[in-house]
Amino acid sequence: MAEILSVASEAYPLVKTGGLADVVGALPAALAPHGHRVTTMLPGYPAVLRALGRPRAVRRWDDLMGVPARLLRGEMAGHPLLVLDAPDLFARDGGPYADADGAEWPDNWRRFAAFSRAAADAALGTVGSDRFDLLHAHDWQAAMAATYLRYADGAVPPGGIRPRSVVTVHNIAFQGAYAAELFPDLGLPDAAWGIDGVEYWGGVGFLKGGLESADAITTVSPTYAEEVLDPEFGMGLDGLMRARRDRLTGIVNGIDPAVWSPAADPALPARYTARTLSRRTRNKRAVEGAFGLDAGQGPLFCVVSRLTWQKGMDVLARVTDDLVAGGGRLALLGSGDADLEAAFRAAAERSPGRIGVRIGYDEGLSHLLQGGADAILIPSRFEPCGLTQLYGLSYGCVPVVARTGGLADTVVDANAAALAAGCATGIVLDRVTDDALVRGLRRAAALYARPDAWAAIQRAGMRGDWSWVESGRRYADLYAGLLAA
């Protein structure tokens, strides 16, 4: 059995701000059938420590990036868990990355450098008697673990084998870029300062350093693996990605059917399957009630998203009047840019009973929207993988998406050929513009007016296996190749 250390800044159900948590939380169960035991490592946020109960300390540091810390052992959903308990870094109110007002913690560089250094120590077997065969780091907050592993020559015993490393890019736009003056405080050798180390445009790049150091790099969809080679999507790292493309693999995310299943979801007033779609009507009434919407004949669209430019929410905000004029209604759950929040509130005021807005996030309500709305809008300008469209496909909530990243890999456009073949699962926009989105909304309304065609699209999406079965196999194959080498 291979021992894998999966290192991330969040994991469902202990701490979640987005899809990263869902992926990290699902990996242990996805890889267990392939002979890999995954230990997840998380920062010791207050919520995580509360969930641990009475953990056992397996390692202590008197000075980890200038603060005392200890590593605690526990369990998460029946799988092994390690938690870095460093109160000076993580015992604070607010979110994992920002305070209650949304301002990033100014010491995030120290917080996640310490976390990454501790993860490398753990992977090298300095934690009790544990020894890991492979370290899998997720996004910039953990990517430096691969860097610390690379430069830890003195920690590898004579004749020993350094654990292999994988860095997964969930969104290359978030890179952990900091000033060069911080480098001496990172505890890395001088050799790490350079173009093939952590130096990045004259500063320190956490994600960049991890990508330079990793034995393998993955992105969360095959299309995104191609997109990040292009300057438009590579966000300044496209050159590095092209240089290391022989180490780059795209593996689309899955979803956990134990959490996301319309046949068993406790958040739904009425549970259903592809054969009992009519039961969704009761859920639709619940969505209307939760968002103050009037009953109507046209499609009920929903949004569960961060309200940002990346997600195309500025485009949607500009065409809400067109959505209503076309007979549609909109239930939106999300938060983000203040201007976009205000724009959607204004749209709801212009169209009471037709547009309902809830600013914030509510896990149960997100399930209800997938189980009761007719279609989910995801007009992202770029989308490394996306999970909301996978939830929509599984729940018969037809995705209306842009042709990018994981959206392109998972949604089949309802063109005439796909409809005739019975494989259409959604509506795909070729561009993210006002006109393109309005055309997509009109196409959705026209298809919704044909109940048999709409039901066929819903059932085609629900027939797909969006679980971690295939994705888990691909990660297992990647691990096996690295460990054999």
* Tens-place pLDDT, residues 248-304: 999 999 998 888 999 999 999 999 999 999 999 999 999 999 999 999 889 999 999
Q: Which residue has the higher pLDDT, 170 or 152?
A: 170
Percent of the chain with pLDDT over 90: 91
Contact 113, 186 (CB under 8 A): yes
Q: Pick the closest to residue 220 from 36, 405, 392 (CA basis).
A: 405
Amino acid 53: pLDDT: 82
Amino acid 159: pLDDT: 55
Q: Look at the block and give the residue holding tokens 């868990």.
A: 81
Structural domains in the chain plus CATH codes: 2-254+469-484 (3.40.50.2000), 277-463 (3.40.50.2000)
Crossing angle, helix 451-463 and helix 434-448, to 10 degrees?
A: 110
Identity of the amino acid at 87:
P
pLDDT digits 0-9 by tens, 312-341: 999 999 999 999 999 999 999 999 999 999
Judged by average pLDDT, the poorest of 50-59, 395-404, 439-448 is 50-59
Q: Over 80: is that where the pLDDT of 78 sits?
A: yes
Would you place residue 18 in the very low, low, confident or very high pLDDT band (cuts 50, 70, 90)? confident
Compute CA 349 distance to the chain's CA centroid, rounded to the nearest angstrom. 32
Bridge-based pairing of strands 300-307 and 329-336 is: parallel
Q: Over 60: is that where the pLDDT of 49 sits?
A: yes
Q: What is the DSSP letter of 293?
A: P
Q: Look at the block and give the residue holding tokens 């990045």.
A: 200
Contact 363, 391 (CB under 8 A): no
Would you place residue 485 in the very low, low, confident or very high pLDDT band (cuts 50, 70, 90)? confident
Would you place residue 154 in the very low, low, confident or very high pLDDT band (cuts 50, 70, 90)? low
Q: Pick the closest to residue 196 from 217, 181, 211, 182 (CA basis).
A: 211
Would you place residue 366 in the very low, low, confident or very high pLDDT band (cuts 50, 70, 90)? very high
pLDDT digits 0-9 by tens, 84-111: 999 999 999 989 999 988 889 999 999 9
Q: What is the mean pLDDT of the chain?
A: 95
Amino acid 412: pLDDT: 98
Amino acid 292: pLDDT: 98
Terminal CA-to-CA distance of the chain, rounded, Å?
16
- DSSP states of 71-137: EEEEEETTEEEEEEE-HHHH-SSS-SSB-TTSPBPTTHHHHHHHHHHHHHHHHTT-STT---SEEEE
Q: Pick the closest to residue 414 from 422, 405, 423, 424 (CA basis).
A: 424
Contact 122, 41 (CB under 8 A): yes
Amino acid 126: pLDDT: 76
pLDDT digits 0-9 by tens, 445-459: 999 999 999 999 999
Q: Pick the closest to residue 363 from 9, 12, 8, 11 (CA basis).
A: 12
CA-based max dimension of the chain: 72
pTM: 0.90
Contact 83, 48 (CB under 8 A): yes
Tell me the C-alpha distance between 85 and 72, whole Å: 7
